[in-house]
Amino acid sequence: MAYREEEKTKIKRLQSREAINLAIQGNWREAIKLNQDLVAMFPDDVESYNRLGRAYTELGKYEEAEKAYRQSLKIDSYNAIAQKNIQRLALLKKTKTAQKRDTRKVAPQAFIEEIGKAGVVHLHNLAKPVVLARVAAGDEVLLKPKGINLMVESVRGEALGQVEPRHGQRLVRLIKGGNKYTGAIVSSAENAVSVMIRETYRHPAMAGQLSFPTRGVETTRTEMADRVIRRGIEQEESLLGDPGYTVVGGEETEVLPEEPVEDDFDDTES
């Protein structure tokens, strides 16, 4: 069936949005079908080939994933997403890791929380690339205090890295005080990993102690959940900028200045 150009553009926009939603939901088989339909209709659509590669990767179908990414490079030889993921696939093939058996995805709703209770932190002392290759945006991670430091592990129990001490030490003390947290990968690359950490329970003894102190952030927007997950699933961008954390809220995320490590809590909400 022949479509007029404007109709095809509308179809592409709607189906692309649905393909992203399927990825957010972790419905990779349906995502493959929809992205296959998209590349059949729009054979030069790099984004659809990249999404197709991601879906195949999540199901452990690495040969098919590589074909999709290489097709993307045929269209755009400088496409950083395809280049990065082909390198990642090479590592995954060596370890013969099946993504569908070794990861747990976090629902987008887990990324919605009021100001001060959720933030994005950057990891230091990263694991080897072969380990980092086994995690991707949306994967659940485990938070493990180790002395005064906060370590981040995959659900397989593999160490991924350490939360920067100025922020990690604060969270460790809150955890020891009875608070509980969940974590998920926002972005993962060979030399940069960011993790969303969300407070799920505040112990009464920790009343008035913010997990992520804010600086003039006013309101939380529910679409931030989509924004965080989509950034990793659709773009898979490498992290830029200085280490710190990003508080969820307002029109944009706000990167906060690092706080000095202190011996006692002194940041009671005013």
Which amino acid is residue 190, in one-letter code? E
Given pLDDT bands bounded at 50, 70 and 90, which one contains residue 214? low
Supply the pLDDT for residue 242: 34
pLDDT tops 60 at residue 52? yes
pLDDT tops 70 at residue 100? no
Class of domain 5-99 (CATH, top level): mainly alpha
Q: Which CATH number describes the domain made up of 108-256? A: 3.30.70.2330
Q: Is 33 exposed, middle or buried (0-12, 13-18, 19+ CB in 10 A)?
A: middle
- Where in the chain are all domains bearing CATH 1.25.40.10? 5-99
pLDDT tops 60 at residue 263? no
Supply the pLDDT for residue 225: 47
pLDDT tens per residue across span 5-41: 778 888 888 888 888 888 877 788 999 999 999 999 9
Supply the pLDDT for residue 46: 93
Contact 80, 50 (CB under 8 A): no
Task: Produce one character per residue of 75-86: b if its CB has 16 or more CB atoms within 10 Å, e if not.
Answer: ebeebebbebbb
Which residue, chain included where needed, has tokens 């729009």?
42
* Residues 211, 167: Cα–Cα separation, whole Å: 9
Q: Is 250 exposed, middle or buried (0-12, 13-18, 19+ CB in 10 A)?
A: middle
- Where in the chain are all domains bearing CATH 3.30.70.2330? 108-256
